[in-house]
Structure 1
Amino acid sequence: MQSTVSLRLVLILGLLSAIGPFAIDMYLPALPQIGSSLGAEVGAVQASLTAFFLSIGLGQLLYGPVSDMVGRKPPLFFGLVVFAGASVGCALATSIEMLVAFRLVQGLGAAACMAVPRAVVRDLYTGHAAARMMSLLMLVFSVSPILAPLAGSAVIALTSWRGVFWVVTAAAVLGLVAIWRGMEETRTAQARLESSLSSALKAYGVLLRDRHYLGLVLIGGSAMAGFFVYLAGSPFVLINHYGLTSTQYSLAFGLNAFAFIGASQFTGQLGQRFGLVRVVKAAATGSGVVMASLLAYYLLGGEQLAVLIGLYFIASALMGLVIPTTSVLALEEHGAIAGTASALLGTLQMLTGAAAMQIVGYFSNGKPLPMVVGMASGALVGVALTWITLSGPQPHHGAAHE
């Protein structure tokens, strides 16, 4: 295992990991415009998000084992080609049904870029080195929620919402070039000999019986579920209800991403000093307290946008400590099946987020309260799972634990 982090690898894996989220974040400011352009209701437009999350989640179940069997690079090439083709389809869509269908295919392509980079990190690093690598990866990955909505606003102003999908097509092409020119295969031929379809099915069985692994995955999934609810509801709440322009919305959305990025850079240092388990316990609990406070504020009739943005800024920072750290801990004991373990992690987290988004979507009315209820519920479920999963004796993870 390596002890030093490759900046080039960080940039390439960060770019790949960001391609899927970029396809989400960049078109968020256009959601109301898409509804008007295609004559679709709020729920139908949000279905284009749900379709993407479902396919990017389920697709990882395939790419993870395949990357264990054939190596990390071939699935990345395939996924990016599928993603690029579907992006062109989205740009040319003439109905909301066509857009949703192409978003479904687009998510299947993007799934490769979600599952494989985490496996590459596990191929090369463990313990604190993995935590540092994952936090640096999150730094590059998390630039997307800051820059993508702003870039989307600019593209939409210059062209229309369709221009967003031409831009993400170009990003996929850039990803293909980056893999071809700058990334070496990290799954050795010897390791691949031990992987097959049968071993993949057995690996999924092992993982689904591992309560500690599932608990860690769902802690991160609960945090992400709250974020997905915000992702789907915030354009309508902040733009339609609070009257922000698409650019102002992009800045408000980016502020939360900035908090996530900043906090995630301390995971390695905090993990070395306190242990990664203690970091997760403190951050998840803090996030739950903040989101419960935000929910109480709206239940008591509060309406100030500054309170929503301010408290969610704090919660986002705490999530920046929870999500990468739980990913490292979940994969720590499963290096031999890192691709499969990473795939199941991504699938369960994406499906959790998609389910939360869809459930809250049924109650969405363009006002803040339904969205805040969903966000707070995710955080509070995460708190419960944290203390159930991480209380008592822990599996040995080397330096990753207290």
Structure 2
Amino acid sequence: MNHADDSRAADKVPWGLVILLGALTAFAPMSIDMYLPSLPAIGADLRADAGLTQATVAAFLAGMAIGQFFYGPASDRLGRRGPILLGVTIYVLASIACSLVTSIEGLIAARFVQALGGCAGAVVARAVVRDRFNHTETARMLSLLTLVMGLAPVLAPLLGGAVLALGGWRANFIVLTLFGLAVGAAAFFRLPETRSEATAAHARTENPLQAYLALLGQRRLIGYALAGALNGATLFTYISASPELLIGTYGISPQAFGWVFGLNAAGLIGAGQVNRLVLRHRTPDQVLSAASLVAVGIAVLLLVAALTGLGGRWSVLPLLFLLLASYGFMQGNTMAGALNIDPLRAGSISALMGAASFATGAIASSATGAFHDGTPRPMAAAMFVALAGSALALRFLALPGRRQAAG
């Protein structure tokens, strides 16, 4: 592989497309991170305990996981634009419903539907990237999307806190409605159709179930999916545990919470851009091999710090920063590896990868919540198990037989 040629091609960045696709992938972080500061207010207003308010996060994750199974095959068969516009429409209507609910059960249901719509953007955006770029270029483009998408977890908690102070928790969902309308309009007017006729012709020869069964029979694809999903589970675990850990356990103010949350997101964004530069000289599989081992090492240190209490927050928070940064090296490269296995099923692969990520995230978040004891121990244990599983999946499923080719 000629990395110099890859670098020259990737330097010609279509920034308009990058920003649009980044915004489409930002529905999930915007919808989760923006309303995190409002969870106590939601519980108080709707007379719900912490478990039920936390269920609004789990419902959103479940909707993101389930909805992707529809949009992936649909984008292969019908094209990229239609599923995105349908998903954005559902998202906007559900966001309005979220702002009007009068019970926590209603909010849980509306959040589930909101996710069913919002997941379309991420699924199809990744397929669009694979439509236009090769393996290494796809990994670099996905790192660029991390740069744009990553602004959401930096800005969303700060924006959410400000909107909460000005207009209450319902105003957050009004802002999300406006976000959906703006991104939907941009997609309608600016997103080109990128699906190839070969992809369309292939999709017409099989139904979605046949497509997924064919993909599930590919060992390397499963390896990439598990490696990316289990690494991503650490991010979802952090997102769900961070309000209680930072505010409740470590006594950080709700205002400062947004800054700490944003700093960790900035680390993730920075790692993604370092990954993009490293890919000038290394293949995505080579980066994955090293990054997975480093992530496990950091997870071991975090688990020791959490179990012993040594250093308190001054040990846990820096290690969390480093551990979450591994996401920037793992996600784009595992996604690029998976999409490269069967480009004619790019939409279905994107859906499978995304669904696996949100499903493992929901499981890890739920497990962390179930064992919550007011310390970082449950979170650290869940992260260690997830990252160890990610490294094992990569080594024994995705990368065997690739190492010599990667060199």
Q: TM-score, normalised by structure 1?
A: 0.95
Give runs of aligned pairs for residues 362-381 of structure 1, distance below 5 A.
362-381=370-389
- Residue 181 of structure 1 aligns with an amino acid whose one-letter code is F
| 1:51 Cα offset (Å) | 0.8
Seen in structure 2, the aligned counterparts of structure 1 residues 107 and 306 have a Cα distance that, compared at 3 Å, is same
* 2:392 corresponds to 1:352: no
In 1, Cα distance between equivalents of 2:398 and 2:24: 31
RMSD: 1.9
Conserved in 2, the CA contact under 8 Å of 1:57 and 1:347? Answer: yes
Seen in structure 2, the aligned counterparts of structure 1 residues 196 and 179 have a Cα distance that, compared at 3 Å, is same
Conserved in 1, the CA contact under 8 Å of 2:27 and 2:119? Answer: no
What do the CA deviations read for 1:108-136 (whole angstroms, capped 9, x no partner)? 00110121100000100112221221111
The residue aligned with 1:219 is 227
Seen in structure 2, the aligned counterparts of structure 1 residues 288 and 194 have a Cα distance that, compared at 3 Å, is same
Within the candidate set 64, 73, 80, 2:88 is matched to 80
Within the candidate set 167, 170, 174, 2:182 is matched to 174
Conserved in 2, the CA contact under 8 Å of 1:63 and 1:75? Answer: yes
Could you tell which deviates more after superposition, 31-40 or 195-204? 195-204
The residue aligned with 1:309 is 317
In 2, Cα distance between equivalents of 1:319 and 1:243: 27
Could you tell which deviates more after superposition, 115-124 or 284-293? 284-293
Could you tell which deviates more after superposition, 313-322 or 136-145? 313-322
Identical counterparts, % of pairs: 36
Conserved in 1, the CA contact under 8 Å of 2:84 and 2:120? Answer: yes
Aligned length: 399
Unaligned 5+ residue runs, structure 1?
none
Give runs of aligned pairs for residues 275-354 of structure 1, distance below 5 A.
275-302=283-310, 304-354=312-362
Classify the secondary structure of the residue corresponding to 1:114: helix
| 1:227 Cα offset (Å) | 1.3
The residue aligned with 1:241 is 249
Give runs of aligned pairs for residues 2-401 of structure 1, distance below 5 A.
4-189=12-197, 191-196=199-204, 198-302=206-310, 304-394=312-402, 401=406
Conserved in 2, the CA contact under 8 Å of 1:128 and 1:268? Answer: no
What do the CA deviations read for 1:138-192 (whole angstroms, capped 9, x no partner)? 1101111101111111111111111111111000000111012211111134532
Conserved in 2, the CA contact under 8 Å of 1:119 and 1:342? Answer: yes
Runs of 4+ aligned structure 1 residues displaced above 6 Å come to: none
Classify the secondary structure of the residue corresponding to 2:353: helix
Classify the secondary structure of the residue corresponding to 1:243: coil
Conserved in 2, the CA contact under 8 Å of 1:65 and 1:197? Answer: no
In 2, Cα distance between equivalents of 1:36 and 1:369: 28
Conserved in 2, the CA contact under 8 Å of 1:153 and 1:247? Answer: yes
In 1, Cα distance between equivalents of 2:306 and 2:321: 16
In 2, Cα distance between equivalents of 1:391 and 1:340: 21
Seen in structure 2, the aligned counterparts of structure 1 residues 243 and 33 have a Cα distance that, compared at 3 Å, is farther
| 1:89 Cα offset (Å) | 1.0
| 1:391 Cα offset (Å) | 4.8
| 1:210 Cα offset (Å) | 0.8
- Residue 251 of structure 2 aligns with an amino acid whose one-letter code is G
Conserved in 1, the CA contact under 8 Å of 2:131 and 2:196? Answer: no
Classify the secondary structure of the residue corresponding to 1:97: helix
Conserved in 1, the CA contact under 8 Å of 2:198 and 2:344? Answer: no
Conserved in 2, the CA contact under 8 Å of 1:82 and 1:106? Answer: yes
Could you tell which deviates more after superposition, 199-208 or 105-114? 199-208
Conserved in 1, the CA contact under 8 Å of 2:95 and 2:174? Answer: yes
Seen in structure 2, the aligned counterparts of structure 1 residues 375 and 179 have a Cα distance that, compared at 3 Å, is same
